[in-house]
Structure 1
């Protein structure tokens, strides 16, 4: 009887773990289906599937979607009621970009039953900006529920809203950072920085001191990502969530995510680092004299060497925060004067 009870408990525990893993497997499949054109592309669906996996199926996606829909409808109302001072033949697209920017970064009046209310913009949350204490601090669902976000959730929400209203928006990467790039006919490419509500020149990005020329040439940083490459980011997010949920994992799921992401975006440095760090964790669990350990060590050296050769340089978190704040404190120095507000 005692043996039966122990067996039953173990079976229940294993079933629970399998159910937990199923959420991550389903999220991976959702994103992979989009990459394989077996499912309609939706950045919102990809992002929320990652977050729901971390919440083990308990994310209130209905409420998150409701809030996103409200913002999308609000953006449409702004577009309809505001005549943008821009005369390019891509005015319709630019008006959409401006409306989303207003919702995220500017206090915007709303008239309800003849009363004017002021919609408050999102603010930057300096608490746990890298999600070390709680990974959900990086989530779009946390952003829409608290109006506070960071350089992960804010550009993700921007891209989601762009898709909701039929606009294009490209994510772009910098050390520890994500921002938005747009291309309009009057000036070409320009940057949108949502953490401070500013349109910075490339000079600000370079001012970090951690963007090597090789990283730009290889498309590691400052590249306008395609929709498929944005899905690759979601795969890295999914792997990081899995590793946080199951710290004693064997590394296979993280490697599957990293390798699929790299098939889409070979120079995605977060995926390259994820792959190398996972191999490092596997190596540390082995006895140094084992043949597998020597093989992993050789692989690790090659991986880290490649990451350095393509231009990646580690940016200390303290320096990142100083760099981020510099855009506000030195706004005149770094703001793109080609754009009027």
Structure 2
């Protein structure tokens, strides 16, 4: 009986100790309650590359933002779209011919789409700031997209058609990388009808450092796992930034970086999350001298982490956009849309 009481006392002490450590942020990951979103994302990211279904991954992540999303129904809709492209291309079509039919199916007006093609939302949300505009189901419903939703649909359909297509990034922008039957890679700009664009064009319109190119954070085709970690998870990170949940942002960014260590978006989101925590601290204590002694260590840790993650991004070649970056980006989008 004394042993049972002793064990119970030890257990209570351990629980109290773990609670204290949790408050300090140093509880081992396995000892903490696993956040449901983290559990879902980890299951996706721990799949072997050939087992990753990008369409399902996208919808599972989007459903964390909008629980009303019908995953199976949307997958069935994608299958119907892919079947229509395959039938139009014919049984003996080469990869490049199927890609051209897919491009026309999505972006040219015709009876196959009731003369309502998918188009870039130049007037409504051209910079892709609205979370809803990045959800696949919203894009399918409205046919108005941005540089997240538009390449996403193209890649998901291309992969269902057996084409070698994936995502690539330039600063604040995603596009499609496609390799044809000859082994040649093309950049396809879905915001302007899926037409090819040269590397030099992206490097001119969305400037990137030689260091960034050397480190592969821009312009290269992403693996499926990298695509999930950055293109798809980044929408969830934006959702939690908008919701004012920086701790959640940090936890999700950590998971993304675990599987894609060069994920610039996750680094920047993590740095921004620490800024939000610093801002909350400063709202509570307007002057540094107002911070109680027992909380100063945490405040300094927040400042260090805020600097750390921006410095990590800069070390890979990322640079802070200047004041005119958004205006130049808009001009680029208008230019490619008119070509």
Which TM bucket (shorter chain)? Answer: 0.7 to 0.9
**CA shift at 1:27, angstroms?**
4.8
List aligned pairs for 1:123-162, cutoff 5 A. 123-126=119-122, 127-132=124-129, 134-162=130-158
1:97 aligns with 2:99: yes
Distance 1:235 1:209 in 2: 22
> What's 1:70 paired with?
80
Distance 2:168 2:263 in 1: 11
Instruction: Describe the superposition over 1:170-203 as per-residue Cα deviations: whole angstroms up to 9, x where unpaired.
Output: 1000122110012235362211001112211111
> What's 1:301 paired with?
307
Distance 2:140 2:170 in 1: 24
1:292 aligns with 2:298: yes
| Counterpart selection for 1:31 from 34, 41, 45 | 41
> What's 2:335 paired with?
326
Instruction: Describe the superposition over 1:187-230 as per-residue Cα deviations: whole angstroms up to 9, x where unpaired.
Output: 62211001112211111101115211111111111111000100
Q: How many residues align?
A: 288
Distance 1:146 1:120 in 2: 10
Q: TM-score of the superposition, structure 2-length normalised?
A: 0.77
Name stretches of at least 5 consecutive residues in structure 1 with no aligned partner. Answer: 1-23, 85-90, 111-116, 332-341
List aligned pairs for 1:177-188, cutoff 5 A. 177-186=173-182, 188=184
1:58 aligns with 2:68: yes
Distance 1:180 1:131 in 2: 17
**CA shift at 1:152, angstroms?**
0.6
1:192 aligns with 2:192: no
List aligned pairs for 1:236-247, cutoff 5 A. 236-244=234-242, 246-247=243-244
> What's 2:54 paired with?
43
Q: TM-score of the superposition, structure 1-length normalised?
A: 0.76
Name stretches of at least 5 consecutive residues in structure 2 with no aligned partner. Answer: 1-33
Instruction: Describe the superposition over 1:247-274 as per-residue Cα deviations: whole angstroms up to 9, x where unpaired.
Output: 2x3x232112111111222222111100
Is 2:128–2:147's contact at 8 Å kept on the other side of the alignment?
A: no
| Counterpart selection for 2:270 from 250, 266, 275 | 275
- Point out the more displaced range, 141-150 or 186-195: 186-195
1:222 aligns with 2:232: no
Comparing both structures, which one devotes a greater share of its residues to helix?
2
**Larger radius of gyration between Structure 1 and Structure 2:** 2
SS of 2:220 mapped into structure 1 = coil
Distance 1:155 1:296 in 2: 36
- Cα 1:25–1:144 change in 2 (3 A) is farther
RMSD: 2.5
**CA shift at 1:53, angstroms?**
1.7
> What's 2:252 paired with?
257
Is 2:119–2:143's contact at 8 Å kept on the other side of the alignment?
A: yes
Instruction: Describe the superposition over 1:102-122 as per-residue Cα deviations: whole angstroms up to 9, x where unpaired.
Output: 222223454xxxxxx855421
1:106 aligns with 2:108: yes
